[in-house]
C-alpha cells in the first residue's frame, strides 16, 4: 500500500541505456489496481534497457526495477497502400517488416497469429531466413467478397510478471470481378527531331523488333487488379482492313516479377510481340474472356457462372459485360542513318568518334 500521496513524491528514473524519455504533458490515464502514479515513457531508439524507479521516504531509499524492450513498429513493406485487389484464383504476396523480436534474455517465445475469412481467401506464410526482419504471406482469393487479414506478433512469456505488447497490422483484401481493360505502349519514345512540328514523340524501332504492351485490368470501381494470372485474355491483330491470324505474329503474355528481400512480388502484366514491319494503322486488341478454369480447378476454386456475370436487381437476369480495349500505332517511314557515329580527323594520328543521335 502507498505510504503517502504520490503527488508529494519525487521519482528518480535511472536507465541502463538511454532509449526512453519521460513525457510530462499527457492526459491522465486510469490507474491500475493498487497504483498511485503513472509514468509515461516514449521510446527514442530500438534496444533494451533496465529502468530503476526510486524515491526517498523517511530517509530511506525505496526502489524497484523493470526491464523494457523497444522494437520498430510492425508495418507493411509491400504493397505500400496495404490493400489488395485481386480476381478469383489469383494471389499476391504481402510483406511485413519489423515488429517484436524474440527475447533471448527471457523465457519467451515469439508468437505469430493471423485472422481472416477462410471462405474468401486462402493464406499461407512464406518461409524465409529466420534472421530476416520481414514476414511474408501469400494471399489467394477463393471467392468474390471483401475481408481483412489481421497479422499479430508478440512474445509468449512464461510468467505473469511480464507483459507482452501485441503488435498488429490489418490488411484489406478485395476479391473482385474484372470490368475494364487498359493497354499501354512501353516503347522507347524520344523527342522527334526534325519532325518536332509534326509529332511530339517519335518511336524508334529496336533491333529485336519487339513491341511491349503493358496490360492493366480494373474492377468496376477502377481499382487495378494486382495479379491477372487467373484470367484468360484473347488477342487480335489488325492493320487497315486486314486482320492477321494470331499465329502469324509471334507473341506471348508474361508477368514481370520484382524480388523484394527474397520475396516475389508481381508488378506488371505484359504482352510481347515480335514484328518485322509495322503496317500503317496497326492495331492490337485485347479481350478478357474468362477464367483459366484448369488453374482454378487445381486450387479447388469454383468461380461464378457465367464468368464476370452481373445480375440485374430488377429483372434477375445475368449479363456478361464486354471487357476489351485496343491500342493503335500510326507509322511513318524511318529516316535513320545506317551508322551510329562519325569520325572527325583533326590532325595526323588524331581522330575523334562522335555519336549520332538518330
CB neighbours (10 Å) of residue 307? Answer: 19
pLDDT (tens digit, 0 to 9) for every residue of the chain, 358 residues total? 556 677 778 889 999 999 999 988 777 778 877 788 888 899 999 999 999 999 988 888 999 999 898 999 999 999 999 999 999 999 999 999 998 888 777 778 889 999 999 999 999 999 987 666 899 999 999 999 999 999 999 988 877 778 888 899 999 999 999 999 999 887 655 555 554 444 444 555 566 777 888 999 999 999 999 999 999 999 998 877 766 655 678 889 999 999 998 899 988 999 998 877 666 677 889 999 999 999 999 999 999 889 998 888 888 888 889 999 998 876 666 666 778 889 999 888 888 999 887 6
C-alpha distances in angstroms, 234 versus 244, 300, 322, 325, 327?
14, 24, 12, 11, 14
pTM of the model: 0.80
C-alpha cell at 41: 515513457
**CATH number at 75-175:** 2.60.40.10
C-alpha distances in angstroms, 20 versus 51, 65, 148, 238?
9, 15, 34, 68
Residues of the chain within CATH 2.60.40.10 domain(s) are: 75-175
E strands of 79-166, at which residues? 83-86, 91-97, 108-115, 121-126, 134-141, 145-157
| Upstream peptide bond of 194 is cis (omega within 30 degrees of 0) | yes
Amino acid at each position: 500500500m502507498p505510504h503517502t500521496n504520490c503527488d508529494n513524491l519525487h521519482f528518480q528514473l535511472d536507465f541502463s541505456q538511454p532509449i526512453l524519455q519521460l513525457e510530462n504533458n499527457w492526459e491522465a490515464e486510469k490507474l491500475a489496481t493498487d497504483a498511485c502514479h503513472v509514468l509515461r515513457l516514449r521510446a527514442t531508439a530500438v534496444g533494451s534497457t533496465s529502468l530503476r524507479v526510486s524515491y526517498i521516504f523517511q530517509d530511506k531509499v525505496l526502489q524497484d526495477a523493470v526491464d523494457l524492450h523497444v522494437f520498430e513498429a510492425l508495418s507493411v513493406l509491400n504493397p505500400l497502400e496495404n490493400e489488395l485487389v485481386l480476381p478469383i484464383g489469383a494471389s499476391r504476396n504481402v510483406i511485413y517488416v519489423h515488429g517484436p523480436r524474440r527475447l533471448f534474455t527471457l523465457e519467451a517465445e515469439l508468437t505469430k497469429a493471423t485472422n481472416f475469412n477462410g471462405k474468401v481467401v486462402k493464406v499461407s506464410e512464406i518461409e524465409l531466413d529466420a534472421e530476416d526482419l520481414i514476414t511474408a504471406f501469400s494471399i489467394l482469393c477463393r471467392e468474390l467478397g471483401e475481408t481483412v487479414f489481421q497479422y499479430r506478433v508478440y512474445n509468449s512469456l512464461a510468467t505473469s510478471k511480464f507483459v507482452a505488447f501485441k503488435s498488429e497490422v490489418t490488411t484489406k483484401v478485395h476479391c473482385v470481378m474484372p470490368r475494364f481493360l487498359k493497354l499501354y505502349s512501353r516503347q522507347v519514345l524520344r523527342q522527334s527531331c526534325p519532325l518536332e512540328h509534326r509529332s511530339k514523340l517519335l518511336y524508334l524501332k529496336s533491333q529485336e523488333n519487339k513491341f511491349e504492351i503493358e496490360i492493366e485490368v480494373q474492377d468496376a470501381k477502377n481499382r487495378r487488379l494486382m495479379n491477372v494470372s487467373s484470367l484468360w485474355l484473347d488477342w487480335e491483330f489488325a492493320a487497315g482492313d486486314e486482320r492477321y491470324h494470331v499465329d502469324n505474329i509471334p507473341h506471348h503474355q508474361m508477368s514481370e516479377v520484382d524480388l523484394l528481400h527474397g520475396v516475389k512480388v508481381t508488378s506488371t502484366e505484359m504482352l510481347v510481340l515480335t514484328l518485322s514491319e509495322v503496317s500503317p494503322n496497326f492495331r492490337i486488341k485485347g479481350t478478357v474472356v474468362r477464367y483459366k478454369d484448369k488453374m482454378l480447378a487445381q486450387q479447388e476454386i469454383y468461380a461464378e457462372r457465367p464468368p464476370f456475370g452481373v445480375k440485374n436487381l430488377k429483372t434477375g437476369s445475368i449479363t456478361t459485360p464486354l471487357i476489351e480495349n485496343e491500342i493503335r500505332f500510326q507509322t511513318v517511314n524511318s529516316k535513320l542513318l545506317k551508322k551510329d557515329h562519325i569520325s572527325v580527323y583533326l590532325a595526323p594520328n588524331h581522330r575523334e568518334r562522335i555519336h549520332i543521335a538518330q
